[in-house]
Amino acid sequence: MKIDHTQPLEYSTDQNQLNILGFWIFLGAEIMLFATLFTSYFIFEGRTGSGPTPAEIFEITPVLIETFVLLTSSFTIGLGVHAMRLGRKNAMLTFFGVTLLLGLVFLGVEIYEFMHYYHVGATYQTSGFTAGLLTLLGTHGAHVTLGLFWGLFIILQVKKRGLTPENANKSFIFSLYWHFLDVVWIFIFSFVYLKGMM
Amino acid sequence: MKIKWALLVSLTSLAAILAGCEPLLVLDPKGPQAARQAGDISLLIVLMAFIVIAVLTILVIVLFKYRASKMPDDYEPPHIEGNIWVEVICIGIPIIIVAFLSFVSVKSNYIVESAPTGYEEEPLVIYASSSDWKWHFSYPEQNIETVNYLYIPTDRPLEFKLYSYGPITSFWIPQLGGQKYAMADMVTTLHLAADEPGEMLGRNANFSGKGFAENRFNVTAMSQKDFDEWVEEVHETADPLTEEEFNRLLEPGHLGQMTFTGTHLDFSPAPEHDHGSDADEHEEHSTHDETNEESDHSGH
Amino acid sequence: MEFFERFAVPHASPMIYASMVAIALVSIGIVVGITYFKKWGYLWREWFTTVDHKKIGIMYLISALLMLFRGGADAILMRAQLSAPEMKLLDAQHYNEIFTTHGVVMIIFMAMPFIFAFMNLIVPLQIGARDVAFPRLNALSFWLFFAGAMLFNISFVVGGSPDAGWTSYFPLAGNDFSTSVGTNYYMIAIQISGIGSLMTGINMITTILKMRAPGMTLMKMPMFTWSAFIANVIIVFAFPVLTIALLMGTTDRLFGTNFFTTTNGGMDMLWANFFWVWGHPEVYILILPAFGIYSEVISTFSSRNLYGYKSMVGSMVLISLLSFLVWTHHFFTMGQGALTNSIFSITTMAIAVPTGVKIFNWLFTMYKGKIRFTVPMLYSLGFIPLFTVGGVTGVMLAMSAADYQFHNTMFLVAHFHNTIIPGVVFAMLAGLTYYWPKFFGFMLNEKIGKITFWLLTVGFVLAFFPMYITGLDGQARRMYTYSEATGFAPLNMLSFVGAALMAIGFVTIVYNIYYSFKNSPRDIGSDPWDARSLEWATHTPVPEYNFARVPQVASSEAFWDMKKKGHQLFKGEIKDIHMPNNSGVPFVMGIIFFIAGFSFIFAMWVPAVIALIGIFVCMALRSFEQDHGRHIHVKEIKEIEAQYGEVPGNENRSHTTTRV
């Protein structure tokens, strides 16, 4: 495989460049996916039927924790990629590990949040609003869950095989994915929770 | 190639002959809205036929002039990138046609979406609701209800309020005007009017399951005087519509024509409010209970 | 419903039982046959595990042809049922299932794989690439499509087919009104193949953007590649909407959510909106590559460059943008009011402008040309007037006030078949005939091909033009029967005759393949049609690595430049070629997806969860796998090249003239 040393490691082979472009296009599709979910949520927001309204079920504390944790994780994975560019494998692994831990905390709080909704009578079947809300949050949460496994696999591979162009490429793409999930969460935070609690 | 065009021409004329015995329903309007639509459609047919003939003519000429069998063996076709003026014309003509049609389209939209003008009387409001696979017509003003047939007065605007007790259906009387959907969680309005007495065909045009093909109703337009007499007669002879009776009618299946005094709007109002909004939440709940009950019945 | 009752077909008729027996016998026959001839190893090595874009393309092609006959059988049954009033061939339920599966099969499982077949076969060759950007993903796309197609096709013998129309409008498609598992099949089979389509979209865009031969700028790409590029951009933006709509429909049916119900805040109209936000771009996903094929064919057989290249590209870009802004025209009659209808009426009619530009460009491409009436050209020539009819009736439907009368009638049915059959199907058959020699090494018989063309054209006109008239006479679509008094009978009989002619036409295609396989000469050279673009610059059939040396391109007609202007296409020495390894994982994932889909359809949660875990295990394995591909060495390449004889482009080789 030809390695071009003038490029950053994650861009250094032809296949790596293809992978990164392909992933950007995939993120384009993901934007459409979440745009559709947001559209349907906005449509269902007021259609609560006999179930509770947004203001009745949203709790600020878990949402703030989730937001803080996920935003921080986006920062740490940025540091991780920076460390990777500098070739500092251990620093990179640490930052990736911290990222995943924060992601795990996020997921835990989100599960708590879902249980809370269940207890206050906002289940998946309750109304158009709850179905729209839980599908939007659930799709994001499923992405995070998948990301946790993916990130774990990458850590294991970097640990075992070192900072090869292939691993650098995977790590970089994973960081794109993670940042994307963070951006989606910012929209969820602003347009679902803040809007709903006001 | 010639064979094909000969075929095309003979087929179209054949089709015209076959269909020519009677005018096509849509092009045989009996009311102002349908007349507007029939006018638009005729205009479109002429204009579009002109475009098709133009394209065909160019194609035939090009094929005839530049076919390989006519060309000398050593003929090398030239390299032509494109010509800005040719392209301007190719874009310009369609734009003019589309602009003209857009103008017609917008105008017609506003006409068919509003009550027909030129009538002295106020519109007659009729609630037309569908259930699997029937139509229920409620005349709140006259306080009567019919199933699967519709009597309407001529020379008076008609305002149909459409909704459904099941899948989306589409209320369509081709000779009075185009269709509109009837849905379960909102009421749509269709403005029609009949100009001459007579019998017409009406149907649900939107696929709604097993009994869809037979989901028809008869429409009879008559003078206001005859209509008033019919209303009086109904009040004298027909039974009142009870809630149980109505729920029985909603069960899936086919029914003949039926007539009642009173309407189902009293105990099962049309879903005219904005469904699910916070403002009328309370009212909402009560309707839901009813709808649930109804669907329980119809489920058996 | 009792658990096991779900598996029974709800309205079994002798026809269905016969199909069950036939399916069982054919399946057993295939398995026994393959075992008897000891072909399992060959199939596994050469096809199931392949990541070669040409082989994947051929598998798409075969699947598309099979599905064409499956959907065609539905079509002929429908026309037979309507050929006379009060016909008793099918009952209402059966008819409803058949028109539903006809629509889904033809759009999702026939037209889509057909265009994917040509994208796979042609795009890498046209841009001078060795393969697509992600060969393994490409194989996965195919197997997902195939899993979805098979899942959908077993529906009519296991549990019943979907019966709510290919549009599956809720609440009709909800649990209350569609009680069998049929609509679950619809939701899940389309979902699985839709994921495959999305991945193809990503794959093709990356390929076209990054893997073009040196010198090939975007504006020097052949027109088919351009059309494929734009179609794939539409795929990437349109399919996620379908993914979400199907997900919501699935949860409504399986978990009792209230997305599209009519109670508790559900909104049935939202399904129609989402469906058509995907559905309208979808028809452009189909038609744009078809336009690309016509551009190639018309240019080749007029022996002229494509007229107005820039405006061709521009019009496709414009069409792709407009395609996302017109969805409401599928339900002008939903009561949005005059303003909304006016806006969408205008955007819809606007599409006629770029489409018109394309029609004129094709006409001007033939101007001063040297037109050869080959079979691919005949399809293209039939396409121009017939598609114009389809296009102008589209403008008629776009007039929203008039659409109140056209909507839901046979007029609409006539219109969209009038665009899809001469537009997409003719293009696919033109492409099939045109590219057949490139991949199979022999030409299809021209004489039989011409008979096919005339049968299809005459059949098409007979079958669909009468529907314009019956539509205006008030015949609604999707009615399984009508009475004598309506007067629809003669024209519907005519339609049936047309459909029968088309059926014969499609059978002659199969006969043609068989006949040509036996009788056609194999020494056709690499350029039997005297073509113009890069895909003809390599050997016939194409070697695994496509091009021994990467071509150098200077215009959109690199091969023509080489033949006529002395352009040197291949320079330098042959080097080692890096190729991807085969993999069985995509095939296995296809099977697991099939099992997962089947389990979801019947709400069998344990196997569903196990299968989902299986999918993630496959993904995890892929993550850990180290597969750097393999190299074909110079010596080996030289041996292969020697087998083909002369290497095209090295010298002014005597070029075979076309037999017309």
How many whole angstroms separate alpha carbon B159 and alpha carbon B150?
13
The torsion angles phi and psi of B34, rounded to 5 degrees, stand at -65, -35
Is C660 part of any domain? no
pLDDT at position A36 over 60: yes
pLDDT of residue B281: 38
Q: Which residues pair with B164 in a beta bridge?
A: B130
pLDDT of residue B225: 95
Please report how the helices C309-322 and B84-112 are oriented relative to each other, as an axis angle in degrees rounded to 10. Answer: 20
pLDDT tens, A64-85? 999 999 999 999 999 999 999 9
* Cα C165 to Cα B205, C69, C162, distances in angstroms: 14, 19, 8
pLDDT at position C258 over 80: yes
pLDDT of residue B3: 53
How many whole angstroms separate alpha carbon B97 and alpha carbon C644?
55
Min Cα–Cα distance to chain B from A53, Å: 8
Is C651 part of any domain? no
Lowest mean pLDDT among B12-16, B77-81, B296-300, C424-428: B296-300
pLDDT of residue B21: 57
The torsion angles phi and psi of C417, rounded to 5 degrees, stand at -70, -30
How many whole angstroms separate alpha carbon A165 and alpha carbon A46?
50
Q: Please name the member of A26, A48, A170 whose beta carbon is closest to the beta carbon of C265.
A: A48
CATH of the domain at B77: 1.10.287.90
pLDDT of residue B273: 64
CB atoms B281 and A48 under 8 Å: yes
CB atoms A25 and C239 under 8 Å: no
pLDDT of residue A184: 97
- What residues of chain A lie within 8 A of the CB of C198, using their CB? 29
Mean pLDDT, residues C507-515 taken together: 96
Cβ(C253)–Cβ(C175) below 8 Å: yes
Mean pLDDT, residues C246-265 taken together: 94
Q: Please name the member of B75, B181, B204 whose beta carbon is closest to the beta carbon of C335.
A: B181
Min Cα–Cα distance to chain B from C233, Å: 25
Mean pLDDT, residues A128-154 taken together: 96
Mean pLDDT, residues C449-472 taken together: 96
Domain match, B181 and B284 both: yes
pLDDT of residue B299: 34
Q: Please name the member of A36, A128, A166 whose beta carbon is closest to the beta carbon of C241.
A: A36
* CB contact B285 to A (< 8 Å): yes
Query: Domain residues for B144?
Result: 124-299
pLDDT of residue B16: 57
How many whole angstroms separate alpha carbon C442 and alpha carbon C567?
28
How many whole angstroms separate alpha carbon C270 and alpha carbon C251?
15
* CB contact C304 to B (< 8 Å): yes
Query: Domain residues for C24?
Result: 4-643
How many whole angstroms separate alpha carbon A161 and alpha carbon C626?
10
CB atoms C349 and B98 under 8 Å: yes
Q: Give SS3 for B83.
A: coil
- What residues of chain B lie within 8 A of the CB of A132, using their CB? none
Q: To the nearest whole number, what is the mean pLDDT of chain C?
A: 92
Min Cα–Cα distance to chain B from C599, Å: 26
pLDDT at position C188 over 90: yes
pLDDT at position C635 over 50: yes
Cβ(C486)–Cβ(B37) below 8 Å: no
pLDDT of residue B73: 86
On the question of a cis peptide bond just before residue B133, with omega within 30 degrees of 0, the verdict is: yes
Closest-CA residue of chain B to C335:
B188
Cβ(C460)–Cβ(C421) below 8 Å: yes
Q: To the nearest whole number, what is the mean pLDDT of chain B?
A: 85
Domain match, B151 and B277 both: yes
pLDDT at position A144 over 60: yes
pLDDT of residue B298: 36
Q: Give SS3 for B164.
A: strand
Is B229 part of any domain? yes
Cβ(B205)–Cβ(B170) below 8 Å: yes
Question: What domain count does chain C have?
Answer: 1
* CB contact A112 to C (< 8 Å): no
CATH of the domain at B279: 2.60.40.420
pLDDT at position C67 over 90: yes
Cβ(C248)–Cβ(A135) below 8 Å: yes
User: Which among B16, B37, B26, B28 has a CA at the least distance from the CA of C472?
Assistant: B26
pLDDT of residue C181: 92
The confidence band for C219, taking pLDDT boundaries of 50, 70 and 90, is very high
Give the tokens for residue C182.
């049929």
Q: Which chains sit next to B, with 3 or more Cβ pairs under 8 A? A: A, C
Question: What domain count does chain A have?
Answer: 1
pLDDT tens, C531-588? 999 999 998 889 999 999 999 998 889 899 898 888 888 888 889 999 999 999 999 9
Q: Please name the member of A22, A132, A157 whose beta carbon is closest to the beta carbon of C202.
A: A22
Among residues B112, B141, B162, which one ends one of the domains? Answer: B112
User: C572 in the Ramachandran plot: left (φ > 0), alpha (ψ -120 to 50) or beta?
Assistant: left
Cβ(C333)–Cβ(C376) below 8 Å: no
- What residues of chain C lie within 8 A of the CB of B1, using their CB? 381
Domain match, B133 and B92 both: no
Is A2 part of any domain? no
pLDDT at position A37 over 90: yes
Query: Domain residues for A43?
Result: 9-197
CB atoms C401 and B112 under 8 Å: yes
CATH of the domain at C559: 1.20.210.10
Lowest mean pLDDT among B34-48, B256-270, C641-655: C641-655
Mean pLDDT, residues B186-201 taken together: 94
Is A4 part of any domain? no
pLDDT at position A3 over 90: no
Closest-CA residue of chain B to C370:
B68
pLDDT at position B109 over 70: yes
pLDDT at position B1 over 70: no
Is C229 part of any domain? yes
Is B197 part of any domain? yes
Question: What domain count does chain B have?
Answer: 2
How many whole angstroms separate alpha carbon C111 and alpha carbon C103?
11
User: Which among B41, B29, B39 has a CA at the least distance from the CA of B221?
Assistant: B29
Mean pLDDT, residues C622-650 taken together: 81
Is C40 part of any domain? yes
pLDDT of residue B276: 41
Q: Environment class of residue B286 by beta-carbon count within 10 Å: exposed (0-12), middle (13-18) or buried (19+)?
A: exposed
Place of tokens 């975007």: C218
Is B2 part of any domain? no
Mean pLDDT, residues C288-296 taken together: 97
CB atoms B11 and C169 under 8 Å: no
Mean pLDDT, residues B47-56 taken together: 94
Domain match, B144 and B200 both: yes
Lowest mean pLDDT among B99-113, C187-201, C267-281, C622-636: C622-636
How many whole angstroms separate alpha carbon B288 and alpha carbon B281?
10
